[in-house]
Amino acid sequence: MTCYTEYHSPLGILLLAATERGLSGLYFEEHRYFKGTRDWRRDATHPHLMRTMAQLDEYFAGRRRVFDVPLDMAGTPFQGAVWNALMSLPYGSTSTYQAIAQRIANPKAIRAAGTAIGRNPVSIIVPCHRVLGVSGALSGYAGGVERKSFLLELESSSHGKQALLQGMIAG
Protein backbone atom coordinates (compact mmCIF):
# COMPACT_ATOMS: atom_id res chain seq x y z
CA MET A 1 0.00 0.00 0.00
CA THR A 2 1.31 3.41 -0.95
CA CYS A 3 0.76 6.15 1.62
CA TYR A 4 1.12 9.86 0.98
CA THR A 5 1.13 13.26 2.60
CA GLU A 6 1.69 16.86 1.61
CA TYR A 7 4.78 18.80 2.64
CA HIS A 8 4.78 22.60 2.58
CA SER A 9 8.16 23.70 1.26
CA PRO A 10 9.67 27.01 0.15
CA LEU A 11 8.97 25.76 -3.39
CA GLY A 12 5.29 25.12 -2.78
CA ILE A 13 3.45 21.97 -1.82
CA LEU A 14 5.29 18.70 -2.37
CA LEU A 15 3.47 15.39 -2.45
CA LEU A 16 5.44 12.63 -0.68
CA ALA A 17 4.63 8.95 -1.25
CA ALA A 18 6.01 5.88 0.49
CA THR A 19 5.57 2.13 0.70
CA GLU A 20 6.62 -0.10 3.56
CA ARG A 21 10.05 -0.37 1.84
CA GLY A 22 10.77 3.35 1.48
CA LEU A 23 10.04 6.67 -0.17
CA SER A 24 8.57 6.06 -3.62
CA GLY A 25 7.72 9.58 -4.75
CA LEU A 26 8.39 13.25 -4.16
CA TYR A 27 6.41 15.39 -6.59
CA PHE A 28 5.76 19.09 -7.05
CA GLU A 29 2.10 20.11 -7.38
CA GLU A 30 2.25 20.35 -11.16
CA HIS A 31 4.95 17.71 -11.67
CA ARG A 32 5.04 16.68 -15.28
CA TYR A 33 4.87 12.90 -14.73
CA PHE A 34 2.75 12.63 -11.59
CA LYS A 35 -0.07 10.10 -12.04
CA GLY A 36 -2.27 10.89 -9.04
CA THR A 37 -3.16 9.43 -5.66
CA ARG A 38 -6.24 7.43 -6.56
CA ASP A 39 -5.07 4.13 -5.02
CA TRP A 40 -3.05 5.71 -2.22
CA ARG A 41 -3.92 6.27 1.44
CA ARG A 42 -3.26 9.62 3.15
CA ASP A 43 -1.07 9.03 6.22
CA ALA A 44 1.15 11.80 7.57
CA THR A 45 2.37 9.48 10.35
CA HIS A 46 3.95 6.90 8.02
CA PRO A 47 7.53 6.45 9.32
CA HIS A 48 9.23 6.97 5.93
CA LEU A 49 7.15 10.08 5.27
CA MET A 50 7.87 11.54 8.70
CA ARG A 51 11.60 10.90 8.25
CA THR A 52 11.53 12.48 4.79
CA MET A 53 9.74 15.59 6.06
CA ALA A 54 12.27 16.01 8.88
CA GLN A 55 15.17 15.69 6.44
CA LEU A 56 13.56 18.13 3.98
CA ASP A 57 13.20 20.64 6.84
CA GLU A 58 16.93 20.30 7.50
CA TYR A 59 17.79 20.53 3.78
CA PHE A 60 15.81 23.73 3.23
CA ALA A 61 17.35 25.21 6.39
CA GLY A 62 20.83 24.51 4.98
CA ARG A 63 21.62 21.87 7.62
CA ARG A 64 21.43 18.69 5.50
CA ARG A 65 23.53 17.83 2.47
CA VAL A 66 22.86 14.09 2.16
CA PHE A 67 19.53 12.31 2.52
CA ASP A 68 19.43 8.85 4.06
CA VAL A 69 15.77 7.90 3.76
CA PRO A 70 15.22 4.42 2.28
CA LEU A 71 13.96 4.53 -1.30
CA ASP A 72 11.52 2.29 -3.16
CA MET A 73 11.64 3.62 -6.71
CA ALA A 74 10.02 1.71 -9.55
CA GLY A 75 11.87 1.85 -12.85
CA THR A 76 13.82 -0.05 -15.46
CA PRO A 77 17.38 -1.25 -14.80
CA PHE A 78 18.64 1.60 -17.02
CA GLN A 79 16.63 4.17 -15.06
CA GLY A 80 17.95 2.69 -11.81
CA ALA A 81 21.53 3.06 -13.04
CA VAL A 82 20.90 6.70 -13.97
CA TRP A 83 19.20 7.45 -10.64
CA ASN A 84 22.09 5.84 -8.75
CA ALA A 85 24.50 8.04 -10.71
CA LEU A 86 22.46 11.09 -9.69
CA MET A 87 22.69 10.10 -6.03
CA SER A 88 26.48 10.12 -6.29
CA LEU A 89 26.53 13.82 -7.29
CA PRO A 90 27.77 15.80 -4.29
CA TYR A 91 25.71 18.58 -2.72
CA GLY A 92 26.45 21.89 -4.40
CA SER A 93 27.90 20.33 -7.54
CA THR A 94 26.47 19.97 -11.03
CA SER A 95 26.94 17.57 -13.90
CA THR A 96 25.71 17.23 -17.47
CA TYR A 97 23.48 14.71 -19.21
CA GLN A 98 26.52 13.59 -21.18
CA ALA A 99 28.58 13.04 -18.02
CA ILE A 100 25.78 10.99 -16.47
CA ALA A 101 25.64 8.78 -19.58
CA GLN A 102 29.41 8.32 -19.35
CA ARG A 103 29.20 7.60 -15.62
CA ILE A 104 26.88 4.65 -16.27
CA ALA A 105 29.26 3.36 -18.98
CA ASN A 106 26.85 4.15 -21.80
CA PRO A 107 28.28 7.36 -23.33
CA LYS A 108 26.05 7.31 -26.41
CA ALA A 109 22.84 7.15 -24.35
CA ILE A 110 22.69 10.88 -23.60
CA ARG A 111 19.05 11.27 -24.64
CA ALA A 112 18.00 8.11 -22.82
CA ALA A 113 19.82 9.31 -19.71
CA GLY A 114 17.99 12.63 -20.02
CA THR A 115 14.66 10.83 -20.26
CA ALA A 116 15.47 8.73 -17.18
CA ILE A 117 16.51 11.86 -15.29
CA GLY A 118 13.22 13.52 -16.25
CA ARG A 119 11.29 10.49 -14.99
CA ASN A 120 12.96 10.52 -11.58
CA PRO A 121 10.07 9.96 -9.14
CA VAL A 122 11.92 11.30 -6.09
CA SER A 123 12.90 14.90 -6.90
CA ILE A 124 15.35 16.69 -4.61
CA ILE A 125 16.39 13.53 -2.74
CA VAL A 126 17.56 11.95 -6.00
CA PRO A 127 19.11 15.23 -7.15
CA CYS A 128 18.13 15.52 -10.80
CA HIS A 129 18.21 19.31 -10.33
CA ARG A 130 22.03 19.06 -10.34
CA VAL A 131 22.10 18.09 -14.03
CA LEU A 132 22.59 20.84 -16.60
CA GLY A 133 22.74 21.01 -20.37
CA VAL A 134 26.19 20.72 -21.94
CA SER A 135 26.41 24.53 -22.18
CA GLY A 136 25.49 24.89 -18.50
CA ALA A 137 21.89 25.78 -19.32
CA LEU A 138 19.13 25.10 -16.80
CA SER A 139 16.83 22.76 -18.67
CA GLY A 140 14.53 19.83 -18.30
CA TYR A 141 13.32 19.84 -14.70
CA ALA A 142 9.90 18.32 -14.03
CA GLY A 143 9.30 20.86 -11.25
CA GLY A 144 10.14 23.79 -13.52
CA VAL A 145 13.30 25.74 -14.24
CA GLU A 146 12.57 28.28 -11.48
CA ARG A 147 12.58 25.54 -8.85
CA LYS A 148 15.74 24.02 -10.31
CA SER A 149 17.43 27.42 -10.10
CA PHE A 150 16.27 27.84 -6.48
CA LEU A 151 17.65 24.42 -5.45
CA LEU A 152 21.00 25.08 -7.12
CA GLU A 153 21.21 28.49 -5.42
CA LEU A 154 20.30 26.95 -2.07
CA GLU A 155 23.05 24.36 -2.45
CA SER A 156 25.66 26.82 -3.71
CA SER A 157 25.05 29.19 -0.81
CA SER A 158 27.25 28.68 2.21
CA HIS A 159 24.24 29.77 4.24
CA GLY A 160 21.22 27.82 3.02
CA LYS A 161 18.78 29.98 4.97
CA GLN A 162 19.99 33.09 3.16
CA ALA A 163 18.50 31.90 -0.13
CA LEU A 164 15.18 31.32 1.59
CA LEU A 165 15.17 34.71 3.27
CA GLN A 166 15.88 36.50 0.01
CA GLY A 167 12.53 35.23 -1.24
CA MET A 168 13.87 33.75 -4.45
CA ILE A 169 10.58 31.92 -4.93
CA ALA A 170 7.38 32.65 -3.08
CA GLY A 171 5.85 29.37 -1.99
Output the domain CATH number for residue 98.
Answer: 1.10.10.10
pLDDT in tens, the chain (171 residues): 999 999 999 999 999 999 999 999 999 887 555 666 678 999 999 999 999 999 999 999 999 999 999 999 999 999 999 999 999 999 999 999 999 999 999 999 999 999 999 999 999 999 999 999 877 788 878 888 999 999 999 999 844 444 444 444 444
**In angstroms, what is the C-alpha Rg of the chain?**
15
Give the residue among 147, 155, 104, 130 at the shortest CA–CA distance from 10: 147
128 belongs to the catalytic site: yes
Task: Check 18, 49, 128, 169 and give the catalytic one.
Answer: 128
Q: Is residue 10 part of a domain?
A: no
Q: Is residue 151 part of a domain?
A: yes
Q: Is residue 65 part of a domain?
A: no
Q: Is residue 95 part of a domain?
A: yes
Instruction: Give how many domains the chain has, as a whole number.
Output: 1
